[in-house]
A and B are shown apart, each in its own frame.
Chain A
Amino acid sequence: DAGVTQSPTHLIKTRGQQVTLRCSPKSGHDTVSWYQQALGQGPQFIFQYYEEEERQRGNFPDRFSGHQFPNYSSELNVNALLLGDSALYLCASSSGTGRPLREQYFGPGTRLTVT
């Protein structure tokens, strides 16, 4: 049973560009959350998608957007990249019912470097 998978593993972009990161949830999970982890910091919640809609959003600008597909996979898009967007982007999946956070699984992350 594959866990949460993310692609690509690493990515280098230039300031001002746009980037799309992808996540496939663990089998049986229908909810995807995205977190940003800057170097030396804990992860910060960006948003969560459930039933193809954004259910909850953290304190991130509109440059950060997302999408969830009917197969529950998800994309994170970041426009007009800034140097400060350099981070490890983590995807987490869970089931939308009950208490999801206790059964939340994280992927290995995508390391984004903005130059």
Chain B
Amino acid sequence: GEDVEQSLFLSVREGDSSVINCTYTDSSSTYLYWYKQEPGAGLQLLTYIFSNMDMKQDQRLTVLLNKKDKHLSLRIADTQTGDSAIYFCAEESMDSSYKLIFGSGTRLLVRP
């Protein structure tokens, strides 16, 4: 079945890099996504990667995809206190291009 797994919590010091990891099960996924959710807010799309890519960089964000291991990671360079939030990994459903399957989220805490 479809399942996306993430570690629950990550704490880093301001200025360090953060790496949030995710594993997914659907080998036919075409796109994989990273969303950010701040307290009391909806979801903000940060970036996405097509499954035939290994890496995508967007300013401070770097996405790495290991399709063989079905492993996705999000690296945030020079992490700031404003980056503290919950980060969700998501894949497009294998039976539909209209819905996303989300992980349970990783809470990132950035310490001053």
Contacts and interface: CB of A to CB of B under 8 A. Distances in A.
Contacts, number: 59
A74 to B, nearest CB: 14
A16 B105 CA distance: 31
B4 A109 contact: no
Interface string A98-115: 011110111111000000
Interface residues of A, number: 24
Q: In which size bucket is the chain B interface? A: 20 to 34
B100 to A, nearest CB: 6
Interface stretch (B11-19, B43-51, B59-67, B72-80): B43-51
Interface stretch (A42-50, A64-72, A79-87): A42-50
A43 B102 contact: yes
Main secondary structure of the interface of B (DSSP, over half): strand
Contacts of B45: 104-106
Interface of B: 4, 31, 33, 35, 40-45, 48, 88, 90, 92-93, 96-105
Interface of A: 4, 33, 40-45, 48, 55-56, 58, 90, 92, 99-102, 104-109
30 contacts: A4-B42, A33-B99, A41-B104, A41-B105, A42-B4, A42-B102, A42-B104, A43-B88, A43-B100, A43-B102, A44-B102, A45-B93, A48-B98, A48-B99, A55-B98, A56-B96, A58-B99, A90-B42, A92-B43, A99-B31, A99-B97, A100-B98, A101-B31, A101-B92, A101-B100, A102-B48, A104-B100, A106-B35, A106-B42, A109-B41
